[in-house]
Structure formats: C-alpha cells, structure tokens
A and B are shown apart, each in its own frame.
Chain A
Amino acid sequence: MSRLKIKTIEDFQNDGTSPETLFWIGCAGSFDDRAKRITKAFVRILNSANISFGVLGKDESCTGDPAKRAGNEFLFQMQAMTNIETLNSFDIKTIVTTCPHCFNTIKNEYPSLGGNYDVYHHTQFINKLLEEGRFSIKGGTYKGKKITYHDPCFLGRANKEYSAPRNLIKKLDAELSELKRCKSKALCCGAGGAQMFKESEKGKTEINIERAKEIKENTSKIVATGCPFCNTMLTDGTKSFEENKKVEVLDIAELIVKAKDL
C-alpha cells in the first residue's frame, strides 16, 4: 500500500509553521495491525478535508492509561509528565485521537499535571468538520443498510459522548439499529482497566462473548465502534458466528472512507 501524506510536528517546526491539530495516534494505532488500518482511515479523512495536522512520531509515548488503571500511579505520572513536556514544548493546543483511552486520559487526567489542550475523539472532530462545512459524507454504499454501534466505555459513560458517532452513522444514510444495552447502559467489551493485557479471572464466560451474543441478536451485518480495543475484542468475540451470521467490525472512520472511496 502506498504511503499516506503525513508530517511530524518537527517537520512543521522546520518549515516555521504549525498545524491546526495534532493527531495523537496511540499505541494501538501505531503498532496493532488491525488498529493501524483505523489510523490510516482517519488520515485519509483528514487529508481529503485538507486539514493541516501533525503527528509526534517517535516523540509519542504511551499516555499511561493501562498503567494507571492497573494501579501503577508512578508509571502513569512519569508517562504523563514526559508527554506533557513534549506537547508543551511543541506548543500543542488541539489534539485529536482515534483512541478513547488516550482521549480520556489526555482530556481528564493531564490538566492537573500541567497539560491543557482541546481534546477531540475523531468522531467529534469529524462532526466539527461537517458543521464547519469542511467535509461531507455521502451515503451511497450504506444506504438502507443496518449498522449497529457499540459504545466504548471511555467515550460513552466516561465522557458522555453518545451522539457524535451516532450522528456520523446517520449521515451515511444507514439505519442505526441499537444493541439492547446501549449508550449509558452499554456493556463493556472487556478490554478496559488493563484487562486487554492479561487473562481474565475465572468466570462463566468472557465479556466479549457476552457482548457478541447481543450483537448476534441484532441482525445488523456491520458493527461500528470508535475504539481500537473494542474493535479487537468484538472481532474476536464475533468470529465464531456461523457463515450466514458473520458480521464485520469497523471503526466509524473506516465506514466513512469506504463510503467516500477515499
């Protein structure tokens, strides 16, 4: 695949300019094969809307969220302060990210450590572009198709953002078909709180399998979400579905890219 047009903040500095926003890619978006595709989809959207954005590249480091939620406040604050130093040294004002965990941490937990930024989840950012008339979404591909949406805990309950992703699905002319437990009552995918990195405790079933049952009851063939971790968990949880029940788990950015053929 061809390389996408990206610039690091350093590149901008060398040109003597600064970008409109920083795209914080996150560890999953940088290293996880599935999540990399989400990163690319969002870059395509930014490029097609002619947004000047920068990335940190090798200057980016884990926000510290999994360490904090595992209980390692030391490691978290070390990460946070290092990142804040980097961000402040580049005079970053606006941050957009495709990961709700990075979003939550930078938005809510960095300010009291000296990091104050305007932080957007990519679904919020795309909505903003739509409102400002800088980007448009065409239905076409998904017209009349049923899409269901899984609320990531760290975007939904944690930050009360339920409408931005839903609004984008509606813009695709798709029929949004809600899961039984949705919005503030949504069931977790099982990855949060550092669970992604460990085996789960003994129980009757896995959380992503429990969520997958609900997805199966809903007859949509596409499951949209807005978190690389939810994406992995739900892809795993739904992969045992029989051939005629198969679903595709896609990030909202990927849906938009497909619809617009970017």
Chain B
Amino acid sequence: MELLPNIIFSVILIIALGFFVINIKRLRRNINFGKGQTETIDDSPQRWKNMIRIALGQSKMARRPIAGILHIIVYLGFIIINIELIEIIIDGIFGTHRMFSSIGVLYGILIGLFEIFAILVLIAVLIFWTRRNLSRIKRFYETKMMGWPKLDADLILYFEIVLMSLFLLMNATDVEFQNMNNGNLISGLIYPFFEGFSSETLHILERSFWWSHIVGILIFLNYLYYSKHLHIILAFPNTFYGSLENSGKLNNIKSVTNEVNIMMGKTSESDTLDDINFGASDVKDLSWLQLLNAYSCTECGRCTSSCPANITGKKLSPRKIMMDVRDRIEEVGRNIDKNGWFKDDNKKLLGDYISKEELWACTSCNACVEECPISINPLSIIMDMRRHLIMEESSAPNELNNMMNNIENNGAPWPFNQQDRLNWNE
C-alpha cells in the first residue's frame, strides 16, 4: 500500500508524457503537409547564434520595453522554476521527500531563487492580466482575437497564477522544509498564516498542494498544442530556421526560372516533372517553414500594430494571416485524423480564411517581419498567395494588369516608350 502514491504518480506521468508525444507527432505531420518550396537551409553557425539571441535571449522583446521586461521575467521564472521539476519527479517516483535537500546551502540558494522568481512571475502575470483585460490595449482586440484566442490568452495567465501560488503554498506548508530554514525566503513569510494548524492538517495541505502543482504542470504541458503558448517550444526551431538574408529578398520560384529559361531558349529540358502550382491557395502549397511559423505565432499582434495597411484601417492583419494558416492546417490535420488521409473538404485557405482584399492591401514594407519577436514572416505567405492569384487565377486588380502589360510591352510600369529612356536629359 505504501507504494500506491508512487505508482499513481508514475502512471500519471507516463500518460501525460504519452499524450505530449502524440501531439508532437501530430504537429510534425501537419507541418510536413506543407509541400511548397523553401530556400535551401544551410547549417551556418549564424543559425545557432540567432536562436540563442532571439529565442533564449529574447533580444527582440525589448522593442516594447514594458511588455518586454515583464515577459523576460515570466520566461526566466518559467525556466528556472522548472529546474525544481527534476526533484519533484524524482520524489514522486521514488517516494522520497526533497531528495536534493541534503546538498545543503546550495539547495537553499536554489529554492530561494525559485521562490523569488515565483513571486516576480506572479506580479508580472497580474500586470499582464490587467493590461490585457482592463487597459484594453488595441492590438489585443481585433475581431480574430475574440472567442478562443482571448480565452486562451487568459487561461495561460490563470495557469501561471495557480501554478506559482501552488509552488509557494507547497513550500509554506512543508513543516520540515520550514524548519530547515534554508531557502524559504518567500514561503517563510506565508508560513505564519498556517500557525494554528495541526501537523496532520499541514501535512495533508502540503500533499494536496504538491500533487495539484505537478498535475497542473502536466496538464499545462498537454495544453500547449492547443494554445498560442506552443511558442515556448517552437520559438527555438522557428528562430533557428528564420531567414539569414536581407528581409528585402523575396525568393525566386525555381520552377518559374526553368520555364523562363525554356522561353528564352536557354534550355529545352524541363526538369519539373510533376504538375506544378505557382503560389499558394491552401496550406499544402505553403512550405513546412511557413507552417512552422504559423504554429509558433504567439498572437502578440506586434506585426499587426505596426502594419501600415492595418493602421490605416484596411482589412489586412499579418497576425490574422498567421492565425488563419494555423486554423486551416489544424482543420486539415483533423480531417486526416478522421479519414486516414486528406479528404477534399471543398475549402481553401484562400477565400474561406483569407480574402483577396486582405492580400492586395499589403505594401511589402516588411514591418511585420521586423517586429516579430520570433522571426515569423507573414509577408512570404501574403506574397505566395498573390502569386497564386496572378499566375493561377489571373485575378489582379485592373490597374495592376495595366501596369504589368506596360512592363511586358515597353519595359516600364507606365506607358512610355523604351526608346525614350534618355529623354529626361532633354
């Protein structure tokens, strides 16, 4: 009977990790559904540097100082406090109690640090909640943000509040730990509130907090897949694979190069065997990197709040583009889960999620790309969808057709004669 808690703990742990692995596999499968062209990804050391600087070092967050500093606190707290998980899991499996406390002073320093971070995170998260719900910052209130995205954002904050509180309470009700007086910096201040409690009651409380804390963490772990909070994992690969080139460079489609070479008589060989799609109308036409981008998006809205089209009231919102892509690939994923393969559902990213009006409003200014704290590129998706509109559907606004006709016929976007190119010097 004594082993029962250990067994229960191990079973819960295995189930939680099992679900997590299943979700990660589904994520991989969905991301690989993207068949579009990516630039060759070299293994430049710069990639590691970018990942360490942008994801781990949060270098871009400081562009908005208040949110940036708060985010860094929560993030550091999250990482540091999770070191404590190692002990919790060992204790859980082997039925020990504070396995590492024997290391003495160092243990006190660590736990003390965890406790300080726990309280800092609590404060930061409360400010986040206030910012989001009371001061109604504009970028949190786009139509696309209503419903689940809003609930998701709040749930994450509630999760953090509950987990941090449980961590401190679990320490505060641990009589043995309090008597050690080693590292109970914050919980030592809470302890007096439990003064009148009998030692049994305290023990029961401590156990309940301990169990709730670890079960809460495991639930949170499995919540990630369904949440924008997935970015705590995906920010890493996403910044690693982020473009190393000038953001002004838009990829040249290779299959087009081949066709143009044939047209110009440079080659007669067609090396594109399968029927090719130019541009993207649905998630399968996007690249795995663009889909990874969509799953990584934190829905922070930094892109949208700096988008000139959005600022001036156009429908385009780069954040919405990313959220639409994720919603659509999730829909495709559920379709595959159900049927074993993708059964045509007569829906498309273009039209059912993203409208032409949104796509044509983009000025390709790169503000969204520049602002994104984790190297997401909404512009590349917008461009690929425009490519589909023009090259597959021939549906461009009329003025653009005129502009393109001019380029084709006289080498300038306006109807001037190429022979007159030096007339400016008359």
Contacts and interface: CB of A to CB of B under 8 A. Distances in A.
Interface of A: 3-4, 6, 8, 25, 27, 29-32, 36, 39-40, 43, 55-58, 60-62, 64, 66-75, 77-82, 104, 107-109, 112-113, 153-154, 157-160, 184-185, 187-188, 190-207, 209-210
Interface string B385-418: 1111111000011011011100110011110101
21 contacts: A27-B413, A27-B414, A30-B412, A39-B424, A58-B422, A61-B418, A67-B403, A70-B390, A71-B279, A72-B390, A73-B253, A73-B279, A73-B391, A109-B252, A153-B363, A158-B247, A190-B363, A194-B403, A195-B363, A198-B360, A202-B313
B364 to A, nearest CB: 3
A210 B308 contact: yes
Contact of A70 (B308, B400, B424): B400
B309 A160 contact: no
A112 B252 contact: yes
A108 B246 contact: yes
Interface in B309-334: 309, 311-316
A207 B422 contact: no
B221 to A, nearest CB: 36
Nearest to B310: A203
B318 to A, nearest CB: 13
Contacts of A157: 247-248, 365-367, 369-370
Contacts of A74: 256, 259-260, 391
A173 to B, nearest CB: 30
Interface in B228-287: 245-250, 252-253, 256-257, 259-261, 263-264, 278-279
A188 B383 contact: no
B404 A78 contact: no
B412 A108 contact: no
Contacts of A64: 407
B387 A71 contact: yes
B425 interface: yes
A120 to B, nearest CB: 14
A188 B309 CA distance: 9
Contacts of A78: 260, 263-264, 408
A6 B17 CA distance: 72
B312 A204 contact: yes
Pairs of residues from A and B, 10 with the lowest C-beta to C-beta distance, nearest first: A158-B248, A204-B313, A71-B386, A193-B364, A61-B411, A203-B313, A108-B249, A188-B365, A71-B390, A197-B403
Interface of B: 63, 245-250, 252-253, 256-257, 259-261, 263-264, 278-279, 306, 308-309, 311-316, 357, 360-367, 369-370, 383, 385-391, 396-397, 399-400, 402-404, 407-408, 411-414, 416, 418-426
Contacts of A205: 312-313
Given A159-B248, A198-B400, A187 B383 contact: no
Output the residue of A40, A107, A184 with the most chain B CB within 10 A. Answer: A184
B399 A55 contact: no
A192 B363 contact: yes
B272 to A, nearest CB: 14
A188 B407 contact: no
Given A27-B413, A64-B407, A192 B365 contact: yes
B279 to A, nearest CB: 7
A190 B360 CA distance: 12
Contact of B400 (A3, A81, A190, A194): A194
B391 A72 contact: yes
A38 to B, nearest CB: 10
A66 B253 contact: no
B312 A77 contact: no
Contact of A6 (B245, B396, B408, B425): B425
A81 B260 contact: yes
Given A61-B412, A157-B367, A200-B361, 15 more contacts: A6-B425, A8-B422, A30-B416, A40-B424, A62-B407, A64-B407, A72-B390, A73-B278, A77-B256, A81-B260, A82-B264, A109-B250, A157-B370, A207-B309, A210-B311
Output the residue of A78, A112, A193, A199 with the most chain B CB within 10 A. Answer: A193
A118 to B, nearest CB: 15
Output the residue of B63, B279, B311, B396 with the most chain A CB within 10 A. Answer: B311
Nearest to B426: A3
A70 B279 CA distance: 12
A58 B418 contact: yes
A153 B314 contact: no
B424 A113 contact: no
Given A62-B411, A207-B308, A159 B246 contact: yes
